[in-house]
Amino acid sequence: MLNDRVAIVTGASKGIGRVMSQLFAREGAKVICAARSDALVHETAELIHAAGGQAIAVTGDVSTEDGVKAIVAAGVKTYGAIDTLVNNAGDGGPTRPIQDYTTEDWFYTVNSCLTSAFMCSRFVVPQMIAAGRGAIVNIASMAGRRGLMYRVGYCSAKAGQIGMTYGLALELGKHNITVNAIAPGAVAGDRIDRVIKGQADMRGVDVERMRKSFVERSPLQRMSTADDIASLAAFLCSDAARNISGQCIPVTAGEPAS
């Protein structure tokens, strides 16, 4: 499905980013695994190599110009071009009421989730224009569509990613570049465990009761998985999705999107 693609996957050190990097490689893409954690992102690349795939690991902060330039330069040096970008990197930030949310909290969360997607898109798009094609997928969140209590920075950043998706799709269509977003609901793993614990603490309820409330929102009575998100991202980056652009696709195990 991705045999002739060269893809940057940010936040590739663990979770959805690691699963996505591995799937893209299995589907034939050459993967540039990018993350701040040197040891973990190299572990992702090593897992890909062990399975017979092609990948490099690049350590860098994608919320900074220098970090993104280094990642793009390494990808171009190794593979000659870049035509696929998955903006997956992002920290959820703190769970606290707005009156206790510091300016530092705000900028850290927004830079981690939204500025990083802008920076990567800014420096990868010229590569795509030169190639005559491209696919960008932003890993947003349902928190950016319907909100989540005590997560003002994260909700704002993810809503910004969705807005950026719509704007870039209009701007880049003439260059044969598709731009889409995926908005996961609850995705099983360490991150949602931390979110549930934070929400339970803030609301003064039992953690298992809070977890049950997250699952019960879904008609399918389950959380999504990293594989669910990775599979959709791979599809959106393939030729099979060449006429899908400017969309924000929920993955919520059936929970209504709004």
User: What are the residue numbers of the active site?
Assistant: 154
Instruction: Name the token pair of 101.
Output: 């949310």
In 115-246, beta strands by DSSP E: 134-139, 177-184
Q: How many residues are given for the chain?
A: 258
Counting other chains too, the contacts that 105-113 makes at CB distance below 8 Å and 24 or more residues apart are 105/153, 106/152, 106/153, 108/153, 109/153, 109/154, 109/157, 110/153, 110/156, 110/157, 110/160, 111/63, 112/63, 112/157, 113/89, 113/154, 113/157, 113/158, 113/160, 113/161
Q: What is the rounded distance in angstroms from the CA atom of residue 55 to the CA atom of residue 22?
A: 9
Q: What is the rounded distance in angstroms from the CA atom of residue 242 to the CA atom of residue 179?
A: 10
CA-based nearest residue to 121, from 86, 90, 156: 86
Cα Rg of the chain, angstroms: 18
Residue pair 122/237 in contact (Cβ under 8 Å)? The answer is no
